[in-house]
Structure 1
Amino acid sequence: MKNFKKIVALFFSMTLIITAFVGCQDSKQNIISETTKKDSYNNDYFVNIEWVAKNANNENVVIIDGRDNKKYEKGHIPGAINVAWQSLANIKGKAGDKNWGVALPKEELSQKLGELGIDKKSQVVVYADKDGWGEDGRIVWELKSAGINAKMLDGGFDLWTKENKEITTEVPVIISKKLEIEEIDSKTTITTEDLRNNMDKYTIVDSRAKDEYEGATKFGEAKGGHIKGAISIPFNDVYNEDGTIKSKEELLKIFESKGLKKDKEIVTYCTAGIRSAHEALILNMLGFKAKNYDASFYEWATTYPDLIVK
């Protein structure tokens, strides 16, 4: 009997030891998974793919694919509609003409967005891909300026496909809505004349690639180089390899190392106000005060060529 009790006691002791050991291992695995998993953004400027996967069928959620139509036709997030940034901008005439590429006025924009099924109740999510030109940022910047609740998808289509989320070629039916935009936020943009007259007031950031900053003309610009006094911070410096946005700590290090300060007004520009809109959103997310110069280098190069340097 005594031997039996000893055996039972030994059995329970071994069970407790094994359970504790396994528990410790599971705990360690959980800690590892939590610390190694990248936390994606989910704030006033971004949503993550988990949010989109859970909320895509909500009647107030509008998903916009900002890529070109060929990419869209090959496959897109279910329910997404294809919207080119040009459809929300003035593209009358040619690049470099006065106000070419700038955001539509509120009356025209109201009609365009209403036709896309967007109203004041809508939660708009826009995505593109890392190899694009920041089209998602351009569209979100314009919608936010008009008072629409719009955000970018962190990781875009790159991460969506990497995570093996559902993709479709089906084009959804759009139900038009009535929208009346009351005003466009003047704090989000700047005209060519205002920038010219207040160049010393602003920290000017060139969001294009370094070779464009140094003089390359890739898109028919009237002149190569950059706006006098501008700092080069290519917009794609904000991305990780997987297409997600870098951490706030990493982003602050990039911008602050270039001399950007939160108490100084910033103006971002690129060729046509696309990449610069994306970068302006990132800066504002971090607490900087940034405006997007949407007429950008196209108009500046034809209007003030004497204020361009290489």
Structure 2
Amino acid sequence: MATPLISAQELQERLDDVTVLDVRYRTDAPAGRDAHEQGHVPGAVYVDLDTELAAPPGAGGRHPLPDAEAFEAAMRRAGVRDDRPVVVYDDWSGLAAGRAWWLLRHHGHRDVRVLDGAWPAWVEAGGEVATGPSAPPAPGDFTARPGQMPVVEADEVLGVPVVVDARAPERYRGETEPIDPVAGHVPGAVNVPTTTNLRVDGRFRSPAELRALYAAAGVTGDEPVAVYCGSGVTAVHDVIALELAGIRAALYPGSWSGWITDPDRPVAGPTSGSP
């Protein structure tokens, strides 16, 4: 299996041989198409996270996984082929691009990588910048074969020996909750925020550094691991970091926004008296 990352320099060298997807997205900003048109990797196709990489919000949380047929159709529209490598990027430290990486891997694509350092790394490396809308690509032939990445659902989460919460520490502790209606975390979960996966230059830490970072939180790979965040999107950043560290982690797609749709599920945090 290919490494989950690609450098800006390597992407420049391989640009003619890969399909590039621009997954601009932020929770605090409008959809990223405008940003894409202001500047993107040449040939990159914009993919909308809310409509093409997620199902409508509901009991499964704010960003449930799309069904296989819808995802396959979206990737074919973006020109994704089974036999051609894919590179995904965003301008949000890989937090959104990771969702596309995970979905493609989960649905059977064998060579998908996230641009390490995201859009700033491309610009810093002197990569060519295209503007305006991308030309529609030739339709792809990607065939979705779901089930290639580990997943846990809500009724399985409490049975996973090691559960990682990828959100900011203050959200994990339940001191603030800017998005979801209930604050706190899944009982027993440990907190490894996505921001700690990166060096100051915005690129992922080395495998050795990541192993030490997660081991300090009790995540060693000796027992099964599951990761969640607010809506199942940014948790993939921790999944990628753990893969770099040599640890395979399952994703809880519903994450916190799905967990709290059932009031009978336990919540830990300041108001509960539980760690």
Q: Which amino acid aligns with 1:207?
A: A
Q: Which amino acid aligns with 2:8?
A: I
Question: What is the distance in 1 between the residues matched to 2:257 and 2:104?
Answer: 22
Moved more, 162-171 or 234-243: 162-171
RMSD between superposed Cα atoms in Å: 2.0
Seen in structure 2, the aligned counterparts of structure 1 residues 209 and 189 have a Cα distance that, compared at 3 Å, is same
Q: Tell me the alpha carbon deviations over residues 134-155 of structure 1, each in whole angstroms, 9 at most, x when there is no partner.
A: 0011110111111112110111
1:164 Cα deviation after fit: 2.3
Seen in structure 2, the aligned counterparts of structure 1 residues 273 and 64 have a Cα distance that, compared at 3 Å, is same
Higher relative contact order (CA 8 A, sep 6+): 2
Instruction: Give the TM-score normalised by the residue count of structure 2.
Output: 0.87
Seen in structure 2, the aligned counterparts of structure 1 residues 262 and 113 have a Cα distance that, compared at 3 Å, is same
Counterpart in the other structure of 1:268: 227
Counterpart in the other structure of 1:163: 125
Seen in structure 2, the aligned counterparts of structure 1 residues 182 and 306 have a Cα distance that, compared at 3 Å, is closer
1:248 Cα deviation after fit: 1.3
Question: What is the distance in 2 between the residues matched to 1:252 and 1:98?
Answer: 31
Q: Tell me the alpha carbon deviations over residues 68-106 of structure 1, each in whole angstroms, 9 at most, x when there is no partner.
A: 2232122111111111222334432x4x53365222222
Could you say which structure has the higher helix fraction?
A: 1
Mapped contact 1:64–1:83 kept (Cα < 8 A): yes
SS at match of 1:280: helix
Mapped contact 1:223–1:305 kept (Cα < 8 A): no
Question: What is the distance in 1 between the residues matched to 2:69 and 2:44?
Answer: 25
SS at match of 1:260: coil
Moved more, 157-166 or 175-184: 175-184
Question: What is the distance in 2 between the residues matched to 1:304 and 1:123?
Answer: 43
Moved more, 153-162 or 81-90: 81-90
1:177 Cα deviation after fit: 2.2
Mapped contact 2:104–2:112 kept (Cα < 8 A): yes
Q: Which amino acid aligns with 1:177?
A: G
Question: What is the distance in 1 between the residues matched to 2:3 and 2:135?
Answer: 26
Mapped contact 1:90–1:99 kept (Cα < 8 A): no
SS at match of 2:260: helix
Seen in structure 2, the aligned counterparts of structure 1 residues 159 and 132 have a Cα distance that, compared at 3 Å, is closer
1:132 Cα deviation after fit: 5.2
Question: What is the distance in 1 between the residues matched to 2:208 and 2:221?
Answer: 15
Question: What is the distance in 2 between the residues matched to 1:249 and 1:53?
Answer: 27
**Which among 51, 55, 75 is matched to residue 113 of structure 1?**
75
The reply on whether 1:257 has 2:216 as its aligned counterpart is yes
Runs of 4+ residues deviating >6 angstroms: none
Counterpart in the other structure of 1:76: 40
Moved more, 268-277 or 297-306: 297-306
SS at match of 2:19: strand
Question: What is the distance in 1 between the residues matched to 2:94 and 2:117?
Answer: 14
Counterpart in the other structure of 1:173: 136
Seen in structure 2, the aligned counterparts of structure 1 residues 99 and 298 have a Cα distance that, compared at 3 Å, is closer
Q: Which amino acid aligns with 2:49?
A: W
SS at match of 1:98: coil
Gaps of 5+ in 1: 1-42
SS at match of 1:64: strand
Q: Tell me the alpha carbon deviations over residues 171-213 of structure 1, each in whole angstroms, 9 at most, x when there is no partner.
A: 233111233223332x422111222xxx243311010001111
Question: What is the distance in 2 between the residues matched to 1:152 and 1:55?
Answer: 14
Q: Which amino acid aligns with 1:136?
A: A
Counterpart in the other structure of 1:138: 99
Moved more, 133-142 or 172-181: 172-181
SS at match of 1:112: helix
**Which among 134, 140, 147 is matched to residue 184 of structure 1?**
147
Seen in structure 2, the aligned counterparts of structure 1 residues 192 and 88 have a Cα distance that, compared at 3 Å, is farther
Question: What is the distance in 1 between the residues matched to 2:251 and 2:220?
Answer: 17
Mapped contact 1:88–1:103 kept (Cα < 8 A): no
Seen in structure 2, the aligned counterparts of structure 1 residues 119 and 298 have a Cα distance that, compared at 3 Å, is same
Question: What is the distance in 1 between the residues matched to 2:79 and 2:181?
Answer: 38
Gaps of 5+ in 2: 25-31, 270-275
The reply on whether 1:91 has 2:55 as its aligned counterpart is yes
Seen in structure 2, the aligned counterparts of structure 1 residues 190 and 304 have a Cα distance that, compared at 3 Å, is farther
- Give 1 or 2 for the bigger CA radius of gyration: 1
Q: Which amino acid aligns with 1:119?
A: R
Counterpart in the other structure of 2:88: 126
